[in-house]
Amino acid sequence: MTATSVLVIGAGIVGCSAAYYLAPEADVLVVDPMGLATQASTQTAANLHLQLSYTALKGGEEEFRRHARIIELNDDADRRWTALASETGGRVKVVNFGGIVVAESDDDVDILRRKVELERAAGFTTEFVERADLVDLVPEVASGVRGASWHAREGYVDAKTACYELARAARERGARFDLTSAVSGLRRSGGRWRVDTDPGGGVDADIVVVAAGAWTERVLSPVATVPMEVSGLTMSVTEAGSRRVEHLVMHTSRPLSVKQVSSGNVMIGGGRPARVVRVEGPLGWRTEPLRASLRAGMDDAVRVVPGLDGLRVVRSWEGLLGSPADDIPVIGEVPGQPGLIVSVAGHTGYTLGPTCGWAAARLALGQDPGVDLTPFSPGRFAAVGVAAGGTR
Partner 1 sequence: MSAPAAGDPRPDRTVDVVVVGHDEAALAVVDELRRRGAEVVLADDRQVQVWAVTPLEEGDPGSAGDRDPAGMVVDLAVDGLPADVIGCRAVVSALSEYGTVPLVPGGEHAGEPGEPLDDDVLLVGGHLGATEDALRHGTPREVWLPFGRAALLGHLLRAPALLRVGALPAVRLLALLRRRGVRVRFGTALAAIERAGDALRAHPRGAGVDDPLTVRRVIVADSRIPPSELARSVGARSAWDAVLGGWVVANDAALLPVVAAGAAAGVRGPAGLAAHGVLVADEIATLIGLDGGPAPGRRTALGRAVRRGRQLARWQAGIAGRTPLPDAGTGADTVVCPCEGVTLGDLEAIVPLLPDPPTPRDVKTVTRAGMGLCQGRRCAAAVTAWAQRCGRVSTDVLDAGLRPRLPLTPLVLRAPAQPRGHEADADRLVKRQEP
Ligand X SMILES: Cc1cc2nc3c(=O)[nH]c(=O)nc-3n(C[C@H](O)[C@H](O)[C@H](O)COP(=O)(O)OP(=O)(O)OC[C@H]3O[C@@H](n4cnc5c(N)ncnc54)[C@H](O)[C@@H]3O)c2cc1C
Residues near partner 1 (CB under 8 A): 34-38, 42, 104-105, 142-144, 160-161, 164-165, 167-168, 177, 179, 237-242, 263-265, 289, 291, 294-295, 298-299, 301-303, 306, 308-317
DSSP H helical segments within 215-311, as ranges? 216-220, 291-304
The site partner of 211 among partner 1, ligand X, none (C-beta below 5 to 8 Å per kind) is ligand X
Torsions phi, psi of 147, nearest 5? 175, 170
Query: SS3 of 255, please?
Result: coil
Task: Give least dist CB 159 to partner 1, A.
Answer: 9
Cis preceding-peptide flag for 282 (omega within 30 of 0): no
> Given candidates 233, 331, 340, 341, which one binds ligand X under the rule CB under 6 A?
233
Whether the CB-CB separation of 180 and 199 falls below 8 Å is answered with yes
CB neighbour list of residue 365: distance below 8 Å, 6 or more residues apart: 22, 25, 26
Q: Is 29 in the site for ligand X (CB under 6 A)?
A: no
Decide whether 211 or 266 has the Cβ nearer to ligand X.
211
> Given candidates 92, 112, 235, 266, which one binds ligand X under the rule CB under 6 A?
235
The site partner of 270 among partner 1, ligand X, none (C-beta below 5 to 8 Å per kind) is none
Task: Give least dist CB 362 to partner 1, A.
Answer: 26
- Reference 261, options 243, 276, 278, 279; nearest CA is 243
- Reference 239, options 140, 300, 311, 301; nearest CA is 311
Whether the CB-CB separation of 124 and 73 falls below 8 Å is answered with no
CA distance 248 to 234: 17
Q: Is 219 in the site for ligand X (CB under 6 A)?
A: yes
Decide whether 56 or 166 has the Cβ nearer to partner 1.
166
* # chain residues binding ligand X, by CB under 6 A: 43
Identify residue 353 by its one-letter amino acid code.
Answer: G
Q: Beta 248-251 vs 99-103: how paired, if at all?
A: parallel
CA distance 131 to 103: 10
Decide whether 58 or 295 has the Cβ nearer to partner 1.
295
Task: Give least dist CB 289 to partner 1, A.
Answer: 5
Stretch that binds ligand X, among 35-43, 84-92, 105-113, 115-123 (CB under 6 A): 35-43
Q: Is 45 in the site for ligand X (CB under 6 A)?
A: yes
CB neighbour list of residue 74: distance below 8 Å, 6 or more residues apart: 50, 124, 348, 351, 352
Task: Give least dist CB 181 to partner 1, A.
Answer: 13
141 Cα distance to chain centroid: 26
The site partner of 161 among partner 1, ligand X, none (C-beta below 5 to 8 Å per kind) is partner 1
Task: Give least dist CB 152 to partner 1, A.
Answer: 27
Q: Is 28 in the site for ligand X (CB under 6 A)?
A: no
Query: SS3 of 79, please?
Result: helix
Decide whether 287 or 323 has the Cβ nearer to partner 1.
287
- H or E, element range at 29: strand 28-31
Q: Is 269 in the site for ligand X (CB under 6 A)?
A: yes
Interface contacts to ligand X, rule CB under 6 A:
9-15, 31-34, 38-41, 43-47, 49, 182-183, 211-215, 219, 233, 235, 269, 319-321, 344-346, 348-351, 353
